[in-house]
Protein backbone atom coordinates (compact mmCIF):
# COMPACT_ATOMS: atom_id res chain seq x y z
CA UNK A 1 0.00 0.00 0.00
CA UNK A 2 1.60 3.25 -1.16
CA UNK A 3 -0.18 5.33 1.46
CA UNK A 4 0.78 3.26 4.50
CA UNK A 5 3.95 4.46 6.16
CA UNK A 6 6.68 1.86 5.86
CA UNK A 7 8.92 0.97 8.74
CA UNK A 8 12.23 -0.72 8.53
CA UNK A 9 12.74 -2.76 11.64
CA UNK A 10 15.78 -4.96 11.81
CA UNK A 11 14.54 -8.40 12.95
CA UNK A 12 18.05 -9.79 13.44
CA UNK A 13 18.07 -9.16 17.22
CA UNK A 14 14.80 -11.12 17.41
CA UNK A 15 16.29 -13.97 15.40
CA UNK A 16 19.32 -13.91 17.71
CA UNK A 17 17.05 -14.28 20.75
CA UNK A 18 15.21 -17.06 18.96
CA UNK A 19 18.44 -18.84 18.13
CA UNK A 20 19.51 -18.81 21.76
CA UNK A 21 16.13 -20.10 22.97
CA UNK A 22 15.16 -16.89 24.77
CA UNK A 23 11.54 -16.96 23.69
CA UNK A 24 10.12 -14.81 26.48
CA UNK A 25 12.78 -12.15 25.87
CA UNK A 26 11.96 -12.33 22.18
CA UNK A 27 8.24 -11.78 22.87
CA UNK A 28 9.12 -8.80 25.09
CA UNK A 29 11.41 -7.32 22.41
CA UNK A 30 8.68 -7.79 19.78
CA UNK A 31 6.23 -5.83 21.91
CA UNK A 32 8.80 -3.06 22.40
CA UNK A 33 9.39 -2.86 18.65
CA UNK A 34 5.64 -2.78 17.97
CA UNK A 35 5.23 0.08 20.45
CA UNK A 36 8.07 2.04 18.87
CA UNK A 37 6.93 1.21 15.31
CA UNK A 38 3.11 0.95 15.29
CA UNK A 39 2.93 -0.07 11.62
CA UNK A 40 5.52 -2.83 11.96
CA UNK A 41 4.37 -6.42 11.75
CA UNK A 42 6.90 -9.16 12.45
CA UNK A 43 7.60 -11.51 9.57
CA UNK A 44 5.32 -14.53 9.33
CA UNK A 45 8.38 -16.80 9.34
CA UNK A 46 9.56 -15.38 12.66
CA UNK A 47 6.11 -15.59 14.25
CA UNK A 48 5.51 -19.15 13.03
CA UNK A 49 8.89 -20.40 14.21
CA UNK A 50 8.48 -18.70 17.58
CA UNK A 51 5.04 -20.25 18.09
CA UNK A 52 6.40 -23.69 17.18
CA UNK A 53 9.35 -23.30 19.54
CA UNK A 54 7.11 -22.17 22.39
CA UNK A 55 4.78 -25.10 21.76
CA UNK A 56 7.70 -27.56 21.74
CA UNK A 57 8.96 -26.13 25.02
CA UNK A 58 5.51 -26.25 26.63
CA UNK A 59 5.05 -29.81 25.37
CA UNK A 60 8.44 -30.85 26.76
CA UNK A 61 7.55 -29.43 30.17
CA UNK A 62 4.14 -31.14 30.17
CA UNK A 63 5.76 -34.41 29.09
CA UNK A 64 8.46 -34.22 31.77
CA UNK A 65 5.81 -33.70 34.45
CA UNK A 66 3.60 -36.50 33.11
CA UNK A 67 0.78 -34.14 32.19
CA UNK A 68 -0.40 -36.32 29.31
CA UNK A 69 -3.62 -34.42 28.55
CA UNK A 70 -1.61 -31.20 28.26
CA UNK A 71 0.87 -32.85 25.87
CA UNK A 72 -2.06 -33.91 23.68
CA UNK A 73 -3.72 -30.48 23.88
CA UNK A 74 -0.53 -28.67 22.85
CA UNK A 75 0.02 -31.03 19.92
CA UNK A 76 -3.56 -30.56 18.76
CA UNK A 77 -3.24 -26.79 19.02
CA UNK A 78 0.15 -26.54 17.31
CA UNK A 79 0.17 -29.50 14.96
CA UNK A 80 2.84 -27.86 12.80
CA UNK A 81 5.42 -29.37 15.19
CA UNK A 82 4.25 -32.90 14.39
CA UNK A 83 6.74 -33.55 11.60
CA UNK A 84 9.64 -35.93 11.05
CA UNK A 85 12.17 -33.17 11.67
CA UNK A 86 10.73 -32.82 15.19
CA UNK A 87 10.66 -36.50 16.13
CA UNK A 88 10.69 -35.81 19.88
CA UNK A 89 7.29 -34.11 19.65
CA UNK A 90 5.89 -37.12 17.81
CA UNK A 91 7.33 -39.53 20.37
CA UNK A 92 5.97 -37.45 23.25
CA UNK A 93 2.52 -37.39 21.66
CA UNK A 94 2.57 -41.12 20.97
CA UNK A 95 3.44 -41.84 24.58
CA UNK A 96 0.87 -39.35 25.90
CA UNK A 97 -1.92 -41.09 23.99
CA UNK A 98 -0.76 -44.47 25.31
CA UNK A 99 -0.59 -43.16 28.88
CA UNK A 100 -4.23 -42.04 28.71
CA UNK A 101 -5.10 -45.44 27.23
CA UNK A 102 -5.95 -44.11 23.79
CA UNK A 103 -3.96 -46.84 22.07
CA UNK A 104 -5.57 -46.27 18.68
CA UNK A 105 -4.32 -42.67 18.55
CA UNK A 106 -0.93 -43.72 19.92
CA UNK A 107 -0.72 -46.34 17.16
CA UNK A 108 -1.60 -43.67 14.58
CA UNK A 109 1.27 -41.45 15.74
CA UNK A 110 3.81 -44.27 15.60
CA UNK A 111 2.43 -45.39 12.23
CA UNK A 112 2.80 -41.83 10.92
CA UNK A 113 6.50 -41.91 11.82
CA UNK A 114 7.07 -45.28 10.18
CA UNK A 115 5.21 -44.34 7.00
CA UNK A 116 6.63 -40.82 6.62
CA UNK A 117 10.03 -40.58 8.30
CA UNK A 118 13.21 -41.94 6.74
CA UNK A 119 15.91 -41.86 9.44
CA UNK A 120 16.63 -45.53 10.27
CA UNK A 121 17.73 -44.76 13.84
CA UNK A 122 14.58 -42.76 14.54
CA UNK A 123 12.42 -45.46 12.96
CA UNK A 124 14.00 -48.13 15.16
CA UNK A 125 13.62 -45.92 18.24
CA UNK A 126 9.98 -45.37 17.32
CA UNK A 127 9.40 -49.11 17.21
CA UNK A 128 11.15 -49.56 20.56
CA UNK A 129 8.97 -46.88 22.12
CA UNK A 130 5.81 -48.37 20.62
CA UNK A 131 6.83 -51.84 21.86
CA UNK A 132 7.02 -50.53 25.41
CA UNK A 133 3.60 -48.87 25.26
CA UNK A 134 1.23 -50.56 22.84
CA UNK A 135 -0.68 -53.83 23.11
CA UNK A 136 0.76 -56.70 21.07
CA UNK A 137 -1.67 -56.40 18.11
CA UNK A 138 -0.54 -52.79 17.57
CA UNK A 139 3.11 -53.80 17.73
CA UNK A 140 2.50 -56.62 15.27
CA UNK A 141 0.87 -54.18 12.84
CA UNK A 142 3.71 -51.69 13.14
CA UNK A 143 6.34 -54.38 12.57
CA UNK A 144 4.78 -54.95 9.15
CA UNK A 145 5.78 -51.38 8.21
CA UNK A 146 9.46 -52.28 8.45
CA UNK A 147 11.48 -51.57 5.34
CA UNK A 148 13.35 -54.40 3.67
CA UNK A 149 17.07 -54.59 4.36
CA UNK A 150 19.72 -55.52 1.77
CA UNK A 151 19.71 -59.10 3.10
CA UNK A 152 15.95 -59.36 2.55
CA UNK A 153 14.92 -59.17 6.21
CA UNK A 154 12.71 -56.46 7.67
CA UNK A 155 14.35 -53.64 9.60
CA UNK A 156 12.12 -54.65 12.52
CA UNK A 157 12.61 -58.42 12.37
CA UNK A 158 14.08 -58.54 15.88
CA UNK A 159 11.48 -56.17 17.36
CA UNK A 160 8.61 -58.58 16.85
CA UNK A 161 10.16 -60.84 19.48
CA UNK A 162 11.26 -58.16 21.97
CA UNK A 163 7.96 -58.03 23.86
CA UNK A 164 7.81 -61.82 23.97
CA UNK A 165 11.35 -61.92 25.32
CA UNK A 166 10.60 -59.33 28.00
CA UNK A 167 7.39 -61.16 28.99
CA UNK A 168 9.31 -64.44 29.28
CA UNK A 169 12.00 -62.76 31.35
CA UNK A 170 9.38 -61.24 33.67
CA UNK A 171 7.67 -64.63 34.05
CA UNK A 172 10.97 -66.30 34.85
CA UNK A 173 11.83 -63.58 37.35
CA UNK A 174 8.46 -64.02 39.09
CA UNK A 175 8.97 -67.79 39.19
CA UNK A 176 12.41 -67.38 40.79
CA UNK A 177 11.00 -64.95 43.37
CA UNK A 178 8.11 -67.29 44.12
CA UNK A 179 10.49 -70.23 44.48
CA UNK A 180 12.74 -68.26 46.85
CA UNK A 181 9.76 -67.06 48.88
CA UNK A 182 8.12 -70.50 48.92
* 37 phi-psi bin (left φ>0, alpha ψ -120 to 50, beta other): beta
Q: What is the pLDDT along the chain (182 residues), one digit of tens a residue?
A: 556 555 578 889 999 999 999 999 999 999 999 999 888 889 899 999 999 999 999 999 999 999 999 999 999 999 999 999 999 999 999 999 999 999 999 999 999 999 999 999 999 999 999 999 999 999 999 999 999 888 888 888 777 566 566 666 677 777 777 777 76
State the number of CA atoms in the 13 A half-sphere of 42 facing the CB: 22
Do 56 and 81 contact (CB within 8 A), yes or no?
A: yes
Cα-based distances in Å from 50 to 2, 17, 62: 30, 10, 18
Q: Taking the model in full, what pTM does it have?
A: 0.79
Amino acid sequence: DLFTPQTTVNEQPLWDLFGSGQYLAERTKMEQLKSANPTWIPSADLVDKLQDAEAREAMRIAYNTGNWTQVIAIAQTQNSILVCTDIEALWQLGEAFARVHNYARSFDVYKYVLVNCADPTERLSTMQKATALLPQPGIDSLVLLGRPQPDGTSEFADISFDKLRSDLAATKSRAVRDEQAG
